[in-house]
Amino acid sequence: MDDETFQSLVTYHYRMIESLDGVGRMRFINNVFDDWVESQELGYPKKEQSQFSELLTELVKDFGH
């Protein structure tokens, strides 16, 4: 995934999570976590695994879990 696509993905996730209540945010972050785990298990390229990890870290940092 190129950097522009990744930034679009981050922007999308932030818009989505801001519209949710606490439980919805928790579920949303859990889904991003599941995507990260899947990227590891399926052997996605290291750059994509890192991008999922970065997104997950930022969401947890900004919105808690």
Query: 13-38 pLDDT, tens per residue?
Result: 889 899 999 999 999 999 999 999 99
**Long-range contacts of range 2-7, CB-CB < 8 Å, 24 or more positions apart?**
6/51
Contact in structure between 1 and 51 (CB atoms under 8 Å): yes
pTM, two decimals, is 0.80
The 3-state secondary structure of the chain, one letter per residue: CCHHHHHHHHHHHHHHHHCCCHHHHHHHHHHHHHHHHHHHHCCCCHHHHHHHHHHHHHHHHHHCC
Rg (CA), the chain: 12
Domain residue limits, the chain: 3-13+22-63
* 1 pLDDT more than 80: no
